[in-house]
Amino acid sequence: MPIATVNPATGETLRTFDALGPDEIEQRLALAMAAFSQHRTAGFDRRAELLGRAADLLDQDQQEIARTMTTEMGKPIAAARAEAAKCAKAMRWYAARAEELLADEHPAPADVDDAGATRVTVRYRPLGAVLAVMPWNFPLWQVVRFAAPALMAGNVGLLKHASNVPQTALYLEDLFRRAGFPEGCFQTLLVGSGAVEGILRDPRVAAATLTGSEPAGRSVASVAGDEVKKTVLELGGSDAYVVMPSADVERAARTAVTARVQNNGQSCIAAKRFIVHDDVYDDFCARFTAGMQALTVGDPIEESTDIGPLASEQGRADLEELVDDALARGATARCGGRRPKEQPRGWFYEPTVLTEVSAGMRIHHEEAFGPVATVYRVHGIDEAVDLANDTPFGLSSNAWTRDEAEVERFARDLEAGGVFFNGMTASHPALPFGGVKRSGYGRELSGHGMREFCNITTLWHGPEHQDA
Ligand code: NAP
């Protein structure tokens, strides 16, 4: 895949970049080590000062970086600005809380005594250089939610970003440099995916985090496993959105539209499968379909646009294949199901609602990465839970109900890293984020995410004077 900015609204190639060669990669790795030796001993106050400065710079750059993101991957400009603001907020969150989240722990005196020690401390020390292989869909946020906790923990970052967002990737390196982080603390490596294995096998790279597709995750995890290096994987999702009879159906349907089409439908935590109780199915379907049809599809740089193009021509082709397969096997398109006639250029796709979807269709098991929803009818909570779990993925899920017994049932039985009740899934620095099953392992965000790339060190002290 060439490293290039190609505007998905027009298909026009705007800039191309050469990939780094072996000598340049070697220099970057050496620089990362030099930076680590400096950064690992900087105190929390100093790291927080630098990260806070990065947040301020990002706020100042918001308009410009938002335009870059929109041009590179097609998200509506208002969403791009919101993404930049969210990143600055997350940086401040980690700057303010890292010291507390990584504070030394002291086991109870009785346990210390039992372990033969006079004193025991558990300390979170940094691991070193962490390789981050990142996707294009939230080109700033995916990186910042790794980088902010990693840098605050004393690690250094090596970013291999998706090949279609090189300008956003270079912006990030520049941002951390301007904020005052030591040279090499956060570096962007403009390389294709073929170079990842060699970098990951280098002994100077301590660990890796990957957000992206299942095949990419499997490939990186198998190399890391071979090298016995820690990984965190945030992979795909096909989140369920269950609506039960006691729900506020109007609000559930309105929120469902946003939950499905955020980021032009290209979000791992977008609700993708809508599982609706028979009692409210017709009402929900009518409202949801009307909401999807009312969206404005168009140039993402225009403020009035709700949905821009898919990020790549291949991404649209993959989505079309899933929809065409479902339609050929008996699904009904309540709306959409094709390219919009009004946008002959670029990689647009109409917001689509499919019903009468069944297990023999690819879309039933595969992730639809675009503005396409499937809606299922169920007759009770057992059927709803079974259908919600009938997926290889387990990232997040949503349940709309005002019945406490149902809340407990979903909380117990939905196989996912999160269950969001009467609302849509969203990430937040304070909340652990990640999945189970084929959605990956490990967690990002919160203290849990920060500690993934720490050496949890036991400091054991015996008696200083041995009694005769
Ligand atoms: P992708 O093709 O897997 O790419 C993600 C990153 O992995 C890119 O930097 C890519 O580089 C690299 N890559 C691809 N194949 C690789 C390989 N064999 N070895 C090493 N690196 C490799 O995914 P995408 O299409 O950009 O993103 C969409 C997927 O990401 C969806 O499945 C979505 O659900 C998932 N996602 C998950 C989360 C989450 O938090 N769970 C968040 C966002 C997205 P190149 O660009 O150079 O190919």
Active site residues: 234, 268
pLDDT, position 127: 98
Nearest-CA residue for ligand 1 atom 46 is 162
Distance 138 CA to ligand 1 centre (A): 11
Backbone angles phi, psi at 222, to 5 degrees: -75, -35
Question: Exposed, middle or buried, 67 (CB in 10 Å: 0-12/13-18/19+)?
Answer: middle
Q: Report the SS3 class of residue 3.
A: strand
Rg of the chain over Cα atoms, rounded to whole angstroms, equals: 24
Q: Mutual orientation of helices 278-293 and 249-261 as an angle, nearest 10°?
A: 50
Query: Token digits for 81?
Result: 């600005």
Q: Which H or E element spans position 306?
A: none
Query: Token digits for 431?
Result: 């909340």
Residue 465, pLDDT > 80, answer: no
Distance 161 CA to ligand 1 centre (A): 9
Residue 167, pLDDT > 60, answer: yes
Q: Which pLDDT tens digit goes with each residue over 403-439?
A: 999 999 999 999 999 999 999 999 999 999 999 999 9
Distance 189 CA to ligand 1 centre (A): 16
Task: Please choose, from the candidates 123, 121, 104, 97, the residue with its C-alpha nearest in 3D space to the C-alpha of residue 44.
Answer: 97
* Ligand 1 pocket, residue 162 CB under 6 Å: yes
Residue 294, pLDDT > 60, answer: yes
Q: Which pLDDT tens digit goes with each residue over 360-417?
A: 999 999 999 999 999 999 999 999 999 999 999 999 999 999 999 999 999 999 999 9
Query: What CA–CA distances, in Å, run from 417 to 39, 125, 280, 401, 411?
Result: 32, 26, 27, 19, 11
Beta strands (DSSP E) in 50-135 are 119-126, 129-133
Sequence-separated (6 or more) residues with CB below 8 Å from residue 115: 107, 460
> What whole-number distance in Å separates Cα of residue 209 and Cα of residue 211?
7
Distance 380 CA to ligand 1 centre (A): 36
> Ligand 1: which atom is nearest the Cα of residue 369?
31
Residue entry with tokens 């969210």: 86
Residue 282, pLDDT > 80, answer: yes
> Ligand 1: which atom is nearest the Cα of residue 161?
9
- Substitution candidate for ligand 1 out of 16, 17, 86, 137 with most atoms within 8 A of CB: 137
Which residue type sits at 453? F
Query: Token digits for 300?
Result: 């993402």
Report which DSSP code applies to 419. E
> What whole-number distance in Å separates Cα of residue 300 and Cα of residue 71?
8
Backbone dihedral region for residue 99 (phi beyond 0: left; psi -120 to 50: alpha; all else: beta): alpha
Distance 213 CA to ligand 1 centre (A): 5
* Ligand 1 pocket, residue 47 CB under 6 Å: no
- Substitution candidate for ligand 1 out of 3, 16, 211 with most atoms within 8 A of CB: 211
Sequence-separated (6 or more) residues with CB below 8 Å from residue 59: 84, 85, 88
- The angle subtended at Cα 397 by Cα 266 and Cα 159, nearest 5°, is 45
Residue 467, pLDDT > 90, answer: no
Beta-carbon count within 10 A of 455 CB: 13
Residue 348, pLDDT > 60, answer: yes
Q: Which pLDDT tens digit goes with each residue over 132-163?
A: 999 999 999 999 999 999 999 999 999 999 99
Query: Token digits for 366?
Result: 């595969």
Structural domains in the chain, sorted by start? 3-235 (3.40.605.10), 239-421 (3.40.309.10)
Nearest-CA residue for ligand 1 atom 14 is 216
Distance 135 CA to ligand 1 centre (A): 5
Q: Mean per-residue pLDDT for 254-263? A: 98
Predicted confidence band of residue 192 (pLDDT cuts 50, 70, 90): very high
> What whole-number distance in Å separates Cα of residue 210 and Cα of residue 395?
15
Task: Please choose, from the candidates 367, 410, 415, the residue with its C-alpha nearest in 3D space to the C-alpha of residue 237.
Answer: 367
CB of 406 closer than 8 Å to CB of 377:
no
Query: 354: which strand partners?
Result: 333, 374
Query: What CA–CA distances, in Å, run from 126 to 8, 183, 331?
Result: 39, 18, 51
- Substitution candidate for ligand 1 out of 133, 190, 222, 443 with most atoms within 8 A of CB: 133
CB of 426 closer than 8 Å to CB of 269:
yes
Predicted confidence band of residue 466 (pLDDT cuts 50, 70, 90): low
Residue 22, pLDDT > 90, answer: yes
* Ligand 1 pocket, residue 263 CB under 6 Å: no
* Ligand 1 pocket, residue 1 CB under 6 Å: yes
* Ligand 1 pocket, residue 369 CB under 6 Å: yes
Sequence-separated (6 or more) residues with CB below 8 Å from residue 291: 253, 254, 256, 257
Distance 51 CA to ligand 1 centre (A): 26
Residue 34, pLDDT > 80, answer: yes
Nearest-CA residue for ligand 1 atom 39 is 234
pLDDT, position 343: 87
Backbone angles phi, psi at 219, to 5 degrees: -65, -50
Q: Mean per-residue pLDDT for 268-275? A: 97
Core vs surface per residue 205-236: b (16+ CB within 10 A) or e: bbbbbbbbebebbebbbebbeeeebbbbbbbb
Residue 96, pLDDT > 80, answer: yes
